[in-house]
Amino acid sequence: MINISHKRNSLRYAKASGTLFTTEDVISKIRNGEIPKGDLLEIARAAGIQAAKKTSEWIVFCHSMPIDWVGISYEFTDESMTVIAEVEAVWKTGVEMEAVTAVMGTLMNAYDMLKPLDAQIKIGEITLVEKRGGKSDMRDTFDPPVKTSLISVDSDKKKGRQADRSASVILDSLRSKPVEVVSEHQLKEEEGQVRKMLVDLTDSRECELIFLCGSTGPAPKDVVPKVIREISDREVPGIAHAMHQYGLERTPFAMISDQVAGIRNGVLMVALPGSERGARESMDALFPGLLHIFKTLRRTR
């Protein structure tokens, strides 16, 4: 089973279909409610909904999930009945298998109710018609890639250890993103140094995105949030909220980190925790949604 604990919830949708082939007489009986075992359309619909909800019990590697909606509808020809299943959920993984399973559950129950009337019934053409949601729908492409700088801010005592590990996590995450890391810097926890570096980078516009890792705690020496707030033309509170929310779902210690994001001269500055775990979780929280902001910022540069 694949570990999806690092993923964020998003609206997921899938549509699947499948067809039952029988005689014209049987199709007429279905549509007119003349099947001896009962109302086939409603019974099969209920079975399909139940099948969608039990998908994880039947498909070994499927994750259980809170399904928000299952819809079953029908289309007819003279000798066929097509089942269309739609599923929605706000969750970490897609609902394709739930939609396909709903189709199969509907069709199998219809088959059971119809087999006394036609021994030659066939079921087929089961297919995934559409799916939406998740990272595949949120990826933005950029040409050229988003130019990015990374700044590690830490004390001499920790230099080469915690700061380097969190910086490595950030760099590893960026390798799969449409960004180009154009510079890396390591600074002491001194307000003047941090301010000068950020002002220089945002004035020169040699980069579009700056990540700062470390110095985001509650101690007086944790200067990064203060500097970003003071030099920003405007803050982007939704970015900080996304990181905090994601972190708090995993550890109560996330409330201690003062994560902030701001824009200066069209350059986005984002403060990340100095811990390896905090940096990794923040990157998981930010992408792929973060890059969408550059669709706007590039028009203003």
Q: Do the Cβ atoms of 18 and 125 come closer than 8 Å?
A: yes
* Phi-psi region at 166: left, alpha or beta (left = phi > 0; alpha = psi -120 to 50): alpha
Cα–Cα distances in Å, from 147 out to 124, 175, 178, 253? 50, 13, 9, 31
Active site includes 172? no
Report helix, strand or coil for 141: coil
Most distant pair of Cα atoms in the chain: their distance = 85
Residue 117 CA to residue 121 CA, distance in Å, equals 9
Q: Which two tokens stand for residue 163?
A: 């700061």
Contact 191, 215 (CB under 8 A): no
Which amino acid belongs to residue 200? D
Q: Which of 25, 68, 78, 112 is catalytic?
A: 112
| 102, 72 Cβ separation under 8 angstroms | yes
What is the rounded distance in angstroms from the CA atom of residue 10 to the CA atom of residue 93? Answer: 8
CB 216 within 8 A of CB 255: no
Contact 68, 89 (CB under 8 A): yes
- DSSP notation for 223-246: -HHHHHHHH-SEE-HHHHHHHHHH
Residues with catalytic function: 112
